[in-house]
Amino acid sequence: MSVTGTAHPGGHQSDRADVELRLPADSAYASVLRTTAAGLAARLDFTIDDIEDLRIAVGEANAMVLPEADPGSDLTCRFYLAPGTLTIAVSVASLGAAAPDRDSFAWQVLTTLATSATAESVDDQFVVTLTMHSSIAGVGL
C-alpha cells in the first residue's frame, strides 16, 4: 500500500491527483479507501452527513471496480480536492471491463449519493469517478 499527496490550493488544475492511494485489488482494503475519503472530506469541511454519504458512495464505487480487476492487480484511487468539492477516481487494471449495470444496486446508490458519477473502460483500466459537493456553501481548503 502506498500513499502520495500534494496540496494544490486551487483544486486540480492538471491531471495530477492531489492524493493518490494504491492498494491491492482486494475487498479487505475497502475500509482504508473509505477512511481516506472521509479524512479528505473532513479537511474540506464537509458535514458529518456529507462524509457518511461519501463513505457509502466510495464503498459502492469500490464494489463496482473490484470484480473487473485482473488477478494480482492494484486498485488505484485518485483524489482531486477543490473548495467544497471532492472528486474521486477509483480504477483497476482490466482487459475485459464492461459498462456498469445501470440497474444494479451499487450504481443506483452511487448515483443517488454522488453529485455526479461515471464509469468507463479506458486504456485497459476500469474507472469509476464520482464527484461530491459539500452541502455547506463557501467551504474551502
* 26-81 tens-digit pLDDT: 999 999 999 999 999 999 999 999 999 999 999 999 999 999 999 999 999 999 99
Q: How many CB atoms lie within 10 A of CB 94?
A: 19
pLDDT tens across 90-138, in order?
Answer: 999 998 766 777 888 999 999 999 999 999 988 889 999 999 999 885 5
What pLDDT score was predicted for residue 137?
55
Q: What letter represents residue 113's amino acid? A: L
**54 alpha-carbon distance from chain centroid:** 9
Residue 7: pLDDT over 80: no
User: Which sequence spans correspond to the domains of the chain?
Assistant: 17-133
pTM of the model: 0.84
- Backbone torsions φ then ψ of 116, nearest 5 degrees: -150, 155
Q: Which residue's C-alpha cell is 444496486?
A: 105
- Confidence band, pLDDT 50/70/90 cuts, at residue 83: very high
CATH fold group of domain 17-133: Heat Shock Protein 90 (3.30.565)
Q: What is the Cα 68 distance to its own chain's centre?
A: 16
